[in-house]
Chains A and B, each alone.
Chain A
């Protein structure tokens, strides 16, 4: 069996690394697929040719992204048949009410503030994982 995926849409390479680090500390063994911009993520996620492919268990995305920003990507994903029901968690630095409201209006499943502190980042990702990932701890043995 293949590893279930988490798709991360994040343009900041440092944040990518920190999230990867945090997920590994949390022992989340999902395959982390990273996209730097909304367009690439959209292409990957809505590619119907890969229908047989396992759908990602979680999409974690930033709001401020190059080419297609987070809100537009969200809108697109919610209109596509393939991605309509995938869990999407917005993971952004912004505390602005406008960002939060718009995200929920466009169909985000959760808006989680990306914390500054690494300890807090760990806790945050842990709670996201507990809630949204089906194969939380069981996957590690099924591979290799």
Chain B
């Protein structure tokens, strides 16, 4: 701490005011022991001039001076903004001086030294004020430095963030433009081989070319998924009041149309009102309901429920089903992109549904988690604030 102090601080200044030069010389000599820069004034007027030009850690003022006495000087000091808080030690010849009422006593630190002056007492009192001053300066400096560093850090981070954003933007631009072209070649030239050289290829050769084409198609879908996910993070939010019940009913209607043979009991609570981006919330509900729809496909009497529950004064919407569920041991992998807890032959899927849901919830500043048991079903809870 002391090293630190030395590295930046200037030597504190101390002002001595007395009309008698021999007193000033004696006091100045006493203070030599301390690390202070001593300034002297022979009158109140001279003192005021110095006070305007310098910043003092402490002033020692003789009470009895001609023209302006010590108390008058102190009163002027206390009524001036620049000198208001400078600690004052009055040097007095006797008790009668002290009895005088000094206005502005409460504003700054005041102390008394009685003549005859004892070197140890003088040094002790002065040292206390100088130490206080040094500590105050150190704190101010530390505070200023910390603020400066913080400001620099904020600027750095902002810059880094902007760079990262630009990077992602140019990355996804390049993905949408460049990453697909090779796939077109894989599919196109495989197709050309299949048709133009059909008679030269046996079944195995044709099968391999078909596999190449299927893979190209699969990769194209993966690129779409990746771009969709990265776009979710950048898109601007358009917050409004949204009726999740209506959205859920629309989605279920669509699901029922796509698979009319399935008989699922869907129970949606009415008027589930939320604040959020309508398009994103639609996508969120769509993904959760599609999952429930999909994972109840092997359940005897499938049931999906959409509702809301309040926990610690936060509203959590939920989508619950009695489908395949999952082992809670793997719950932390649920929301990772391209991570699946079921094999593609068992249940189809791209592996980005829940990653999408998680990102949408995060964009709204909410939380999402799941509760599940294998073959008993899963419940997804989410908040939007």
A residues with a Cβ closer than 8 A to B are 12, 14-15, 18, 21, 63-64, 92-96, 99, 114-119, 121
Give chain B residues whose Cβ lies under 8 Å from the Cβ of A63.
177
Contact (Cβ within 8 A) A118 B176: no
> When chains A and B are docked, how far (Å) is the Cα of A27 from the Cα of B224?
32
Give chain B residues whose Cβ lies under 8 Å from the Cβ of A18.
184-185, 188-189, 192
Contact (Cβ within 8 A) B181 A12: yes
Contact (Cβ within 8 A) A121 B177: no
Q: Name B174's closest neighbour in chain A (CB-CB).
A: A64
> When chains A and B are docked, how far (Å) is the Cα of A93 from the Cα of B172?
12
Once A21-B192, A118-B191 are accepted as A-B contacts, the answer to whether A14 and B176 lie under 8 Å apart by CB is: no
> When chains A and B are docked, how far (Å) is the Cα of A18 from the Cα of B183?
12
Is the C-beta of B217 less than 8 angstroms from some C-beta in chain A? yes
Q: How far is the CB of B182 from chain A (nearest CB, A)?
A: 8
Is the C-beta of B187 less than 8 angstroms from some C-beta in chain A? yes
Once A21-B192, A118-B192 are accepted as A-B contacts, the answer to whether A94 and B176 lie under 8 Å apart by CB is: yes
> When chains A and B are docked, how far (Å) is the Cα of A48 from the Cα of B11?
83
Is the C-beta of B178 less than 8 angstroms from some C-beta in chain A? yes
Q: Which of B188, B190, B191, B217 is the one whose CB lies under 8 Å from A14? A: B188
Contact (Cβ within 8 A) A118 B187: yes
Give chain A residues whose Cβ lies under 8 Å from the Cβ of B190.
118
Give chain B residues whose Cβ lies under 8 Å from the Cβ of A96.
172-173, 176
Contact (Cβ within 8 A) A116 B183: yes
Contact (Cβ within 8 A) B184 A121: yes
Give chain A residues whose Cβ lies under 8 Å from the Cβ of B130.
none
Contact (Cβ within 8 A) B220 A116: yes
Contact (Cβ within 8 A) B187 A117: yes
Give chain A residues whose Cβ lies under 8 Å from the Cβ of B216.
116-117
Give chain B residues whose Cβ lies under 8 Å from the Cβ of A14.
181-182, 184-185, 188-189
Give chain B residues whose Cβ lies under 8 Å from the Cβ of A12.
181
Q: How far is the CB of A60 from chain B (nearest CB, A)?
A: 15
Give chain A residues whose Cβ lies under 8 Å from the Cβ of B227.
95
> When chains A and B are docked, how far (Å) is the Cα of A18 from the Cα of B187?
10
Q: Name B228's closest neighbour in chain A (CB-CB).
A: A95
Contact (Cβ within 8 A) A116 B180: yes
Q: How far is the CB of B340 from chain A (nearest CB, A)?
A: 23
Q: List 11 A-B contacts (CB under 8 A).
A: A64-B178, A93-B176, A94-B173, A94-B176, A95-B224, A96-B176, A115-B184, A116-B184, A116-B187, A116-B216, A118-B184
Q: Name B192's closest neighbour in chain A (CB-CB).
A: A21
Once A116-B220, A117-B187 are accepted as A-B contacts, the answer to whether A95 and B176 lie under 8 Å apart by CB is: yes
The 7 closest A-B pairs by CB, nearest first: A118-B191, A14-B185, A18-B188, A93-B180, A118-B188, A94-B176, A116-B220
B184-242 CB contacts (< 8 Å) to partner A = 184-185, 187-192, 213, 216-217, 220, 224, 227
Contact (Cβ within 8 A) B191 A119: yes
Q: Name B177's closest neighbour in chain A (CB-CB).
A: A64
> When chains A and B are docked, how far (Å) is the Cα of A115 from the Cα of B221?
12
Give chain B residues whose Cβ lies under 8 Å from the Cβ of A119.
191
Q: Write out, one digit per residue, whether chain B residues 38-73 have a CB within 8 A of any chain A CB (1) or not (0).
A: 000000000000000000000000000000000000
Give chain A residues whose Cβ lies under 8 Å from the Cβ of B220.
116
> When chains A and B are docked, how far (Å) is the Cα of A118 from the Cα of B216?
11
Give chain A residues whose Cβ lies under 8 Å from the Cβ of B172.
96
Contact (Cβ within 8 A) A15 B184: yes
Q: Name B220's closest neighbour in chain A (CB-CB).
A: A116
> When chains A and B are docked, how far (Å) is the Cα of A7 from the Cα of B188?
21
> When chains A and B are docked, how far (Å) is the Cα of A96 from the Cα of B230?
12
Contact (Cβ within 8 A) B177 A94: yes
Contact (Cβ within 8 A) A93 B191: no
> When chains A and B are docked, how far (Å) is the Cα of A93 from the Cα of B220?
11
Contact (Cβ within 8 A) B177 A93: yes
> When chains A and B are docked, how far (Å) is the Cα of A45 from the Cα of B191?
33
> When chains A and B are docked, how far (Å) is the Cα of A116 from the Cα of B213?
10
> When chains A and B are docked, how far (Å) is the Cα of A99 from the Cα of B181?
17
> When chains A and B are docked, how far (Å) is the Cα of A21 from the Cα of B185?
12
Give chain B residues whose Cβ lies under 8 Å from the Cβ of A95.
176, 224, 227
Q: Which of A15, A21, A99, A116 has the most CB of B within 10 A?
A: A116
Give chain A residues whose Cβ lies under 8 Å from the Cβ of B183.
116
Contact (Cβ within 8 A) A114 B184: yes
Give chain B residues whose Cβ lies under 8 Å from the Cβ of A15.
181, 184-185
> When chains A and B are docked, how far (Å) is the Cα of A21 from the Cα of B194?
14
| Additional A-B contact list (5), CB under 8 Å, known A116-B187, A121-B188 | A93-B176, A95-B224, A116-B180, A116-B216, A118-B192
Q: Name A99's closest neighbour in chain B (CB-CB).
A: B176
Q: How far is the CB of B168 from chain A (nearest CB, A)?
A: 13
Q: How far is the CB of A21 from chain B (nearest CB, A)?
A: 6
> When chains A and B are docked, how far (Å) is the Cα of A96 from the Cα of B235?
12
Q: How far is the CB of B177 from chain A (nearest CB, A)?
A: 4
> When chains A and B are docked, how far (Å) is the Cα of A130 from the Cα of B213?
27
Q: How far is the CB of B89 from chain A (nearest CB, A)?
A: 73
